[in-house]
Amino acid sequence: MLPLNTFRLLCSPRALLHRSWLSTTRQCVYKTVTRCTSTGVIPKKETWHGNKDPKALGKEIRRIYSTNPTSSNRSYCAGQVQQTCWSCKQPHDATPAFFCTSCKMIQPPEEDASYFKIMDCDVTFTLDTHKLQKRYLHLQRSLHPDNFSQKSGKEQDYSESHSALVNKAYRTLLKPLSRGLYMLELEGVRTEEGTDSEADSGFLMELMEINEALDEAQTPEDANKIGRDTKGKLAVLAEAIDAALLGGELQAAKALLGQMKYYANIEEKVKEKLSEFM
């Protein structure tokens, strides 16, 4: 059992990764991803030995789940009663409706609409971030409060609410970690902030060593090496998380996202370290 202070240190953003952890992590990651047959039976776990190429493994994972009829994107929005315009009372043609197609008045935001619907994105962990950004810019140009400064108080309120909701949806879906956690939330799987009770003590000790290595980095090359290793681990994890979500393995996805949180923190710390050399 680790002392409480040591555990807090390891769970802080200062926690870092040892480059030798990559092969160990890969083995751990892919032991959590299960192979599904076309009948939905899970005969055995999908494992990955450290000497296997991650790109090749990623292709294998996609092949497994793309050929599984039961591994399709889940629907995250329940059927909704058709809404009508608050001004002209005409029914909306689409949901969520930002403007009435009949009178063009801005509509109240649908607070229960999923971020994927708001941003018009496929419900997938590997969504098109370029499309997401274009959608964000389009919505903000249309809904920004500055456009409604001369409108009624109700329209101004709707504009402010829409703009805030679009901002939140964009920030959530833009980064893989927050996107994955949100997808789990839509499925009823919640992760408590700041809790890592499932973290392996050996894994935490490795993080402590890399924390020291990054602190002691003397050149940009040293920090960049840690950064490259981290990006590789994040890419491997992204492949595994996508496969787990497609296969409905929500607890496996949750565990993998817990690892991704550590690596995302490391990536940010590497950027901070590099800024010190400028």
In this predicted structure, what is the pLDDT of residue 40? 41
90 is a domain residue: no
CB atoms within 10 A of CB 257: 25
CA–CA separation, 223 and 277 (whole Å): 10
In this predicted structure, what is the pLDDT of residue 215? 86
First-residue to last-residue Cα distance in the chain = 40
pLDDT band at 197 (very low <50, low <70, confident <90, very high): low
Q: Where are the alpha helices (DSSP H) in the chain?
A: 4-11, 21-31, 54-66, 115-118, 129-143, 153-174, 176-186, 201-215, 220-246, 250-276
Q: Which residue has 């290595």 as its token pair?
A: 213
pLDDT band at 116 (very low <50, low <70, confident <90, very high): very high
61 is a domain residue: yes
At 84 the three-state DSSP class reads strand
CA–CA separation, 168 and 137 (whole Å): 13
In this predicted structure, what is the pLDDT of residue 200? 80
Domain count for the chain, please give it.
Answer: 1
State the virtual CA torsion across 112, 117, 118, 124 in degrees, nearest 10: 110
Tell me the per-residue pLDDT of 2-48, one tens digit each, with 9 for 90 and over. 454 544 444 444 444 444 444 444 444 444 444 343 334 333 334 33
33 is a domain residue: yes
Half-sphere exposure of 169 (CA within 13 A, CB side): 27
Stretch 98-104: mean pLDDT: 94
pLDDT at 243 over 90: yes
46 is a domain residue: yes
Task: Supply the range of the domain harboring residue 15.
Answer: 11-73+201-276
272 is a domain residue: yes
State the amino acid at position 46 in one-letter form: E
58 is a domain residue: yes
Tell me the per-residue pLDDT of 79-94, one tens digit each, with 9 for 90 and over. 456 789 999 999 988 8
223 is a domain residue: yes
259 is a domain residue: yes
In this predicted structure, what is the pLDDT of residue 81? 63
Cα 59 to Cα 17, 71, 180, 189, 233: the distances in Å are 26, 16, 20, 27, 16
- The mean pLDDT value of the chain amounts to 77
